[in-house]
Structures are given as structure tokens and as C-alpha cells.
Amino acid sequence: MARHQPLFLERSSYRRRRLSDVARILPVLALVLILLPVWWVPAVVSLTGGALWLFGLWAGLIALTAGLFAAMGTADPSAQSAGQDGGADGDDPGEGAGAGRGRSESAGR
Amino acid sequence: MAVDVLVATCLGYVVLMFIVAFAADRAALRGRVKWLDHPAVYTLSLSVYCSAWTFFGAVGYATRSGLEFATIYLGPTVVFAGAWWGLRRLVRVARMHHVTSVADLISARFGKSNPLAALITLIAVTAATPYIALQLQSVSLSFRAFTQEADPVAQGGTALWVAAGLALFTILFGTRNLAADERHHGVVTAIALEAVVKLIAFLALGVFVVWGLADGPTDVVGRIAKATAEDPALVQGWLLKPDRWTALIVVSGIAVITLPRMFQVMVVEAADAERLRMAGWAFPTYLFAMSLFVLPIAVVGRELLPAGSNPDLFVLSLPLSQGQNMLALLVFLGGFSAATSMVVMSAIALATMISNHWLVPLWLWLRRRPDGDDAEDLGRFVLNARRLAILAVVGGGWVYHQASGGSAALAAMGLVAFTGMAQVFPAMLGGLLWRGATRIGAYAGVGTGLVLWMVLIFLPSVGIGATPGFPQGVDPLAGSIVLSLGANTLAFLTLSLVSFPDPVERLQGLSFVLAVEPEGPDRAGGDTARSAESLLAMSRRIWGADPALRFFQAEAVAQGKSGFLPDLTPRFLTRLERRLAGSVGTATAHAMIGRVGGGTGLSVADLMEVAGEASRAKEEARRLETARAELARTARQLREANEKLTELSVQKDSFLGQVSHELRTPMTSIRAFSELLKLPDLPEADRTRFAGIIHDEAGRLTRLLDDLLDLSVLESGGVRLNVAVANLHDLVDRAVNAASATGTGRNFVIHRDLPTEHVAVITDTDRLLQVLINIISNARKYCDAPRPELWVHVRRRPDRSTEIDIIDNGSGIDPDRQALIFEKFARLNDPMRAGGAGLGLAICREIMTALGGDITYLPGQGGAAFRVSLPHRPPLKPSASADAPNACGGGGDWNE
């Protein structure tokens, strides 16, 4: 929808965007880490060693998620403001677009 | 242990649950929802995922298949790691539309279609009934483990009592009222408490096994290694199969969203999406804790218990065999909690679906009246329909349990239910992410998935038909999952691509995919039949008088009206429909609003109107933005113009003095010398000299007047161009010669690049020459360098226009005067040094404008620099009527 998006963000907002990027990557990473060893070396990860691998990985994943969500909580003081970012999540303010906008602005003067 | 102790404990526990639920409901009623809404309660209620299948079955599963049991918990872990952008979005959209169930969500997305919701309800009920039977069986089995009673009748009796108790609990706390949002604080709080009991029981058993029976974690690891080393058959079973591993993780990840009970606690009972921040890590932690001791219990149980023991009951038989009766009792309560919480939540979710998508539409259809104003209490009917549906669901589970009888057939039911509800997922995900998803596609996908799931998984699991033969090396379950979900997705995508959605669908698609709340189009125009009063009457029949009045009053106040009857704005109607959807489902609410209003549907034209309004608002915003920029630009221009005007005014004043002076000086001398000429005795030589002076002064006057005339002709646009082709080189030659002829005689070095000057120009050559001469002679006059030099550069532009730069090495023109030099009467520097009246450059500019070109001052060239731009050919001027022949050839400084 026609919402005005700032092209560059202040430091805290920038950090929040990057954290939400991490939140997107995390499940994919988790899935890859859980699936790949079983496809590659099922015999190695099926028994005792596998149990240690799996529960270690699992605990690490939970810690990572908890850390991430906590960081997002502190980086996101007004949780409600993020409530309307559905469409905007996709279009990150890229550097190129910003430079282009800057040029056109100065040209207008 | 005595049966009566067990029964007493059980009853006491059940009474505690009733009290907790009752207290929580009362607290919610009084508005004290703060601690009820705590994210921890929400997270604990999610643990309804861990049913008795988990509590008892995980150890059995691990005994048979090793680590594969963990897939059921790894899938949700992965999904919740993405809770912040995935699930939060789902919860937000679902709450925006007051969705009551997973079937309602999909039906709302695909154009508020009730048949689609009814189909999904069918899958849910089919999948859940055996699953509920499994819970009842687990309770009766655990009872038997205590009592050692093998009597199947007693077993059935236990299950019946449990079923009856659960149905009572669910009806009491699940259908107390028909709120506008389907939240059940009592039930959720009780389930959160049960989650704590489950966890404590399982952890207590795990600690007992690892540190009581075994000798710490190292010993357990050693025992696992020993068991696998001794028994090749065990290793064979424990070997992970990558296709199964992947398929089960995917299916369990999907199931944690689509299972009716999970959707109920995760989406419908959520106050808002923010609690997922805690649940995102806390729920996986819960699952981790529930899984951590599964393998140790399995291995130690296998070692210590007799060979024929049922591994699904290890969690009970292990403490019992060690004489740990209190621990066994705690574990029993944990299993009981797991089973009951699953049954209660499933029953609520399924009953909502059955009543909203089967019974209420049927009732409305049967009772259709032409006037659309039925006096029955619809709210009471909906509540009764739910109670009936709860009885049917729990009763169905009990009947199924009795009919199947065996334990083996039920053990697989968890996965069967998972794979069944997973068939809903492609349509759900597609509907949330893709505006192109259509109802036809959803029907095709869900239908294909349902049929394949029935044939490949469900029917074989209940003993009808056989598991299909897959090629060697492909696991049948993994193959069936991939096949059913793959065909489902393919059908969904294909038919979505080829079909065309209706307007309601497109509006809903927009709302779901972009997570926005579009209002319906203005359908109220001139519609007297649908008065606010009849809508109020309808709402009253569903919610009861007081809540309905409160909602209508709030809406009226929001519109700035007093009383209870708001205007039927699109916004109000959309909000009312969504609130009603929270009670009776989206499709029914939509139908009811349409019915009261005489069945007006949404047309493509209406949709276009909504789109038009949205784009108008967008356009308006964009226009305002542009207008703002325009305004700033204009202000800037005005400021500049104002500064220029002020300066011009000052200059004009000074010029008036100057021109008077210019005119008066020759006039004075003409008068004076004319007087002298009148003298009779004037010597001839003096007479000739005086006449010469008079002639010169008159010439000066004429030049000044010629300039003024020339300028006025040029400015009025009445000049006639005498266009010809000329070599620019010749023109520059002539200009340089003419300028030196009138010059001050100073030695001037002129740098020219002769080859580039040979350019053919199509223009009025005389006029162009006039400009060139003016600039060059200006340079000669004003260049203040000790060794004056002049450069002439000629350049042909790609657009075939020509640029002539004339640059000297003097001090140039001050920046603050550059803007003024082309103005009339703008004589620079000292007026006494100039021969003209300061009109030369103004004339040049007018000429160049007439020729379609331009003359500009180039700053920063190391001296005064002028650029003459000449177009390829002069513009065709239609006028030429106001010709002034006298002035046409009139010149500036050079024309004597």
C-alpha cells in the first residue's frame, strides 16, 4: 500500500531489520543442520553419537532462538509499530535505490 | 497400589482442574485477565501438542526406531524458530478476521466459502477420531498397568468414565457463552496447569532413571552403546532412514500449525501475536525437556523389564517394577493430563468446526424464511450445536476405541492424524502468501490430498486395504507423505493458475496476503430493508442482548453518533461481519449479513470501487507529496525572483538617472553648440567643428534610440528572420574584424581553432553576426588583463546544435552581477568606459531567443565567458506580422 518508507534508517532500526533477517534465516539453517547429516551419514548419527549430536544441536538452536528473540525484544521497544510491516518486510531500503533518490533530489534543486 | 487410591487421586485431580478452570473463567469475567494472558500461560497451553501419544508413545517409539521419535518434536522446533515472522503473521491475520478454526481460516481466505470449510472439517474429524480414541485407550491402559486387571469390560468402563468426564468438562468450560472472540480462559489455564504436571512427571521419571537406576549420564550413554552393540536387530530398527526423517520432520512441523487443537491454542486463544516472542523459544524448550529422557528410559526399561513388556507403557511399568509407587502415580497423572488436555482441546476445536461449518449452515438452510427475520435464538442454537458436537466427538472417540479394541491399530494414529491435517497446509500457506491462490485450487488441492491420504495412509491404518507397494528402498510412510502432499500442492497450484477468483475471494486474498483490513464497498445506498435495527436484532440473537447493544453503541460512538444504531457504513458492516465471524464462522457471518440485507453480493464493479478508493487515496497522498515539492520549488523561485526584482528596481532607478544623463549630455552639447552656431561672426573653422560635434552627438542619440527600438522589436516577437546557410568560420572572421575596427585599439591576441569552425549553420546570419560582434567587442572593451587574450571555441553537439564559447582572460563578472548582465540597461563596471547604453547583451539575448538558441554566461572559465548556443535550424515563427522595417537592420554598437 502507499506507505511512505524512509530509505535509510537510524542505527537501532537498522539493527532491528538485520535481526529480523536473522529470524528468517534461522529456521532454514536449523532445517539444513538437522537434515543433512542424516542424508549423508545415517549410520553415524543413528546411535549414541547421533543422540549427542542431536540434543547438542537442539539445545544450541533453542539458545540461539531465545537470544535472538530477546535481542529483538530489546531492539524493538514499540512492538506495536512492527504490527503493520507486512508488506514492507520484503523491500529493504537498498543502498542503490537510496543513492538514486538522493541524486534526483539534488537535481530537483 | 489399591484401585480406590488411584481413583481417588484421579478424581481429586479432576476436581482441581474444574476448580482452576472455574476460577480462571471467573477472573476473566471480572476483567482480571492479566496473569491469564501471560505469555507463559500461552506457551504452556501450546504443550497440548504433547498428547498421551507423546507421553507414553515416545518411549515406545524410541525403543523401536531410536532417534526417529525426535522428528515429532524437531519439526515444531524449526517452525517456532521462525515464529517471529511466520507464525506471528498467521496469528495477526487470523485475529484480524476473527477466525475460529483452521477450516474457518481457509474458508475466509477463499471467498468465505462454507463448503470448503465443511470439507476441511471432514478431514479434521476423520483424522481426530482415532486420535482421540488413542488418548482414551492410553488412560485405560495406564489404569490397567496399575490394577493388573485384564478385563476388557473394565477397560471399556474406564474409557467410558473418562470420556464422559472430559465431555462434561469441555461442555462446561468450552461452551459457557458465545463470545465475539472464541477464547476460553478456564480451559486454557487448566491445560497450562496440566502441562506443568506432564513436564514434572516426565522429568521426575527421567531423573529417577538416569540418576536412580543408572549411574548418571555417562552410564546411560554407555548403556545405549552396549544395547546397540549387543543386538543387531535393534541397530537395524534404530538406523535412521533419511526419507522418513525428512518427511516426518516436515509433517510434524506442518501439524503443529494445522492440527485443530494446535490452531485453537496457538491462534484462536492468542490475545495477540506478541506472545510468540516467548513461545518461540520456550515451546521448543518444553519439547526438548520432554524428549531428553526418552532414550534413557527406553534403554533402561528394555534392560530391566521382562522381554515381552509393552514399550509404550515403560514409563509406568518401570517405576512400578522398582516399587516407586508415588513416582508411578505422578507419571500416571502426567499421562492422564496429556490425554485429557488433548481430548478437551480437540473437542473444543472440532466442535467449533462442526457447529460453524456443518450444523449452523444446515440449520440456516432448513429454516430459510423469505423475510429473513426468524425469531429463534440463534446463539442458543449455536451453543447447543457445539455441545452436541463435543458429545459426538468424544463419543465418537470412545466408540472407535471400543470397536477397534486392539492397541496396535491405535498406536500409529498420531502420525495418521498428522498426515491428514497436513493436507490442509498447501492451501493455507498458499492462501497467506499468494494472491493468485483461488478457491478452485484449494478445493483441488485439499480434495486430492484427502483422497490420497485416505487411500495411502488412513484406510490401511484402520485395516481396510493394504499399504501401497513402493519401490524397494522407499519407505512406505515417507513415500505416501511425499506423494499425497506433492499431488495436493500440484493440484492446488495448477487449478489456481487456470481458474479465476470471484470478487469476494480477491478482496479476501488482498487482506490475507498483505495483512491489511480493506473495507467492503458501500452496499448500503438506498437499502431500507437492511436497517441497523434488524442487524442489531440478529446480533442480539447470537451474542445476547447486552453484548450486542454494547458493540452497536461503541460503533455508533465511533461514528460520532449517540444511541445504539450506527450508520451502515462499509466500515461498520465489515467490522460487524468480522465480529460475528468470531462466533459463527466467516462463511455463516457473511451469509447472515447478506441475508438480512436481502442477499446483496459483492460484484466485480464493487471490487473495482474498493480498488478505486484505495488507489484514489494513494493517488491523493502522492499528489499531496508532489504539491508539497512543487510549493517548495515555487517558493524558492519566488524568492529568487523577488531578489532579482529588488535588484532590478535599484538598477532601473540608477539607469533612469543614467539614461537621462546619456540623453542630456548630447542634448546639452547640441543645444549649446547650436546656440554658438547662431552667432553671426563665427569663424568658418569653428562652425565646421561645432557642426561636427553636433553631428556626433546626434549620432550618439540615434544609436541609443536605435538600440531601444531594436530591443522593443525583438521583445515584441515581431522580428522577421532572414534564414540562410553560412559557414560559421566566415561569420567569426567577420565578427572579429568588425569588432577590431570599432575597438579601442588595444593589442588583442585571439586564439581560434580554425578546423572546428568550419561548420555550416542555418540561421539569420546578420543577427548571429550582431551577437558575435557584440560579445567580442564587449571583451575588447572590458577585458582588464595587461595582455588581453580571447579564445573562440566552436563545438557541434550530437543533436546538431552548435555552441560557440567566447572567453577572455580578464577578471570576468562578479557572481552577484552574473544574473543581471542580460537585463536591459545593465551596464557593468564604469559607465564612462562604455560606448553603449548597456543594451547590447539584452539585445543579444533577445536575438538568440528569436533564433531558437540561447546565450549564457559561463562562470569559472578564468575570465568573462559567454556561450552562444544555436539550434540546428531556427524555429518556424508564424507571426512576422508586426514587422518594423526601420529597426530591422538597426544595430547595436557596431552598426554605424
CB contact under 8 A, A65 and B280: yes
B568 vs B605 pLDDT, higher one: B568
Least confidently predicted of B17-31, B341-355, B523-537: B523-537
Calculate mean pLDDT across residues B459-466: 81
pLDDT tens per residue, range A25-84: 999 999 999 999 999 988 888 888 888 899 999 999 999 999 988 888 776 554 433 333
Least confidently predicted of A25-29, B140-144, B531-535: B531-535
Spatial distance between the Cα atoms of B57 and B51, rounded to a whole number of angstroms: 9
Instruction: Compare CB distances from B281 to A2, A39, A69 and report the shortest one's residue.
Output: A69
Average pLDDT, chain B: 82
CB contact under 8 A, A35 and B92: no
Distance, in angstroms, between A77 CA and closest chain B CA?
12
Q: Which alpha helices (DSSP H) does B716-764 contain, by range?
A: 728-742, 754-757
The size of the A-B interface in CB pairs under 8 A is 129
pLDDT confidence of residue B613: 65
Residues in chain A: 109
Dihedral sign (CA B63, B68, B72, B74): positive
Confidence of residue B155 (pLDDT cuts 50, 70, 90): low
Q: Considering just the CA atoms, what is the radius of gyration of chain A in Å?
A: 20
Distance, in angstroms, between B82 CA and closest chain A CA?
5
Calculate mean pLDDT across residues B498-522: 80
Highest mean pLDDT: which of B502-516, B614-628, B807-821?
B502-516
pLDDT at B746 over 80: no
Calculate mean pLDDT across residues B716-734: 83
Spatial distance between the Cα atoms of B872 and B762, rounded to a whole number of angstroms: 7
Confidence of residue A92 (pLDDT cuts 50, 70, 90): very low
Put simply, the chain A residues between 33 and 92 with a CB less than 8 A from any chain B CB are 34-35, 38-39, 42-43, 45-48, 50-52, 54-55, 58-59, 61-62, 64-66, 68-69, 72-73, 79, 83-84, 86-87, 89
pLDDT at B439 over 90: yes
pLDDT confidence of residue A83: 38
pLDDT at B738 over 90: no
pLDDT confidence of residue B601: 54
Q: Chain A residue with minimal CA distance to B91?
A: A83
pLDDT confidence of residue B190: 92
Q: Which of B79, B44, B466 lies closest to B251 in space, CA to CA? A: B79
What DSSP letter does each residue of B156-172 carry, written as one string? HHHHHHHHHHHHHHHHH
Calculate mean pLDDT across residues B292-321: 89
Spatial distance between the Cα atoms of B360 and B355, rounded to a whole number of angstroms: 6
Q: Which of B297, B334, B291 lies closest to B196 in space, CA to CA? A: B334
For an interface test with B, the pick among A34, A39, A106 (most B C-beta atoms closer than 10 Å) comes out as A34
Residues 6+ apart with CB under 8 A from B75: B248, B249, B250, B251, B252, B253, B254, B255, B256
Confidence of residue B612 (pLDDT cuts 50, 70, 90): low
CB contact under 8 A, B516 and A1: yes
Question: What whole-number percentage of chain B has pLDDT above 90?
Answer: 27
Calculate mean pLDDT across residues B52-73: 90
Confidence of residue B368 (pLDDT cuts 50, 70, 90): low
Least confidently predicted of B148-162, B239-253, B626-640, B810-824: B148-162
Q: Is B855 helix (H, G, I), strand (E, B) or coil?
A: strand
Residues 6+ apart with CB under 8 A from B243: B474, B475, B478, B479, B482
Calculate mean pLDDT across residues B665-694: 84
Confidence of residue B484 (pLDDT cuts 50, 70, 90): very high
CB contact under 8 A, A35 and B89: no
Spatial distance between the Cα atoms of B748 and B782, rounded to a whole number of angstroms: 12
What amino acid occupies position B326? M
Calculate mean pLDDT across residues B478-499: 94
At residue B323, what are phi and psi to the nearest 5 degrees? 75, 15
Phi-psi group of B183: left, alpha or beta (phi > 0 → left; psi -120 to 50 → alpha; rest → beta): beta
Q: Which positions in chain B touch A62 (Cβ < 8 Å)?
A: 77, 281, 284-285, 288
Which three cell numbers mark B851? 533564433
Instruction: Compare CB distances from B242 to A38, A62, A109 and report the shortest one's residue.
Output: A38
Helix (H) or strand (E) holding B880: none
Q: What is the ipTM of this complex?
A: 0.73
Instruction: Compare CB distances from A51 to B67, B515, B622 and report the shortest one's residue.
Output: B67
B151 vs B481 pLDDT, higher one: B481
CB contact under 8 A, A20 and B84: yes
CB contact under 8 A, A65 and B81: yes
Q: Chain B residue with minimal CA distance to A25?
A: B82
At residue B760, what are phi and psi to the nearest 5 degrees? -80, 130
Helix (H) or strand (E) holding B363: helix B360-366
Instruction: Compare CB distances from A31 to B78, B92, B622 and report the shortest one's residue.
Output: B78
Calculate mean pLDDT across residues B781-790: 82
Helix (H) or strand (E) holding B805: strand B802-808
CB contact under 8 A, A65 and B78: no
Helix (H) or strand (E) holding A58: helix A48-75
CB contact under 8 A, B67 and A46: yes
Calculate mean pLDDT across residues B186-192: 91
For an interface test with B, the pick among A48, A57, A64 (most B C-beta atoms closer than 10 Å) comes out as A48
Name the pairing type of β-strands B789-796 and B749-752.
parallel
B572 vs B284 pLDDT, higher one: B284
In chain B the domains, ranked by start, together with CATH numbers, are 3-359 (1.20.1730.10), 519-602 (no CATH), 606-704 (1.10.287.130), 718-888 (3.30.565.10)
pLDDT at B827 over 60: no
Q: Is-contact B67 A51, C-beta < 8 A? A: yes
Least confidently predicted of A98-102, B436-440, B683-687, B765-769: A98-102
Distance, in angstroms, between B547 CA and closest chain A CA?
27
pLDDT tens per residue, range B234-258: 888 888 999 999 999 999 999 999 9
Q: DSSP secondary-structure letter at A83?
A: G
pLDDT confidence of residue B465: 76
pLDDT at B409 over 80: no
Which three cell numbers mark B98? 476473527
pLDDT at B474 over 50: yes
Q: Is-contact B868 B771, C-beta < 8 A? A: yes
pLDDT confidence of residue B446: 95
pLDDT at A96 over 50: no
Calculate mean pLDDT across residues B847-864: 84
At residue B123, what are phi and psi to the nearest 5 degrees? -60, -45
What amino acid occupies position B725? V
Give the strands of the sheet with B865-870, arranged side by side.
B749-752, B789-796, B802-808, B865-870, B854-857
Instruction: Compare CB distances from B240 to A26, A38, A62 and report the shortest one's residue.
Output: A38
Instruction: Compare CB distances from A62 to B225, B285, B629 and report the shortest one's residue.
Output: B285
Confidence of residue B666 (pLDDT cuts 50, 70, 90): confident
Spatial distance between the Cα atoms of B611 and B592, rounded to a whole number of angstroms: 25
Highest mean pLDDT: which of B511-525, B580-594, B682-696?
B682-696
Q: Is-contact B421 B483, C-beta < 8 A? A: no
At residue B300, what are phi and psi to the nearest 5 degrees? -65, -40
Q: Chain B residue with minimal CA distance to A62?
A: B281
CB contact under 8 A, A45 and B240: yes
Distance, in angstroms, between B239 CA and closest chain A CA?
5
pLDDT at B529 over 50: no
Q: Which positions in chain A touch B89 (Cβ < 8 Å)?
A: 86
pLDDT confidence of residue B743: 53
Distance, in angstroms, between B643 CA and closest chain A CA?
17
Confidence of residue B709 (pLDDT cuts 50, 70, 90): confident
pLDDT confidence of residue B796: 86
pLDDT tens per residue, range B197-243: 999 999 999 999 999 998 989 999 898 888 888 888 888 888 899 99
Distance, in angstroms, between A88 CA and closest chain B CA?
9
pLDDT confidence of residue B644: 87
Instruction: Compare CB distances from A46 to B225, B238, B618 and report the shortest one's residue.
Output: B238
pLDDT confidence of residue B888: 39
pLDDT confidence of residue A107: 33
Q: Which positions in chain B touch A30 (Cβ < 8 Å)?
A: 77-78, 81
pLDDT tens per residue, range B277-296: 889 899 999 999 999 999 99
For an interface test with A, the pick among B92, B95, B245 (most A C-beta atoms closer than 10 Å) comes out as B245
Calculate mean pLDDT across residues B836-840: 67
pLDDT confidence of residue B880: 42
Least confidently predicted of A28-42, B365-379, B720-734: B365-379
Q: Which of B520, B496, B500, B512 lies closest to B589 in space, CA to CA? A: B520
Instruction: Compare CB distances from A24 to B85, B280, B288 and report the shortest one's residue.
Output: B85
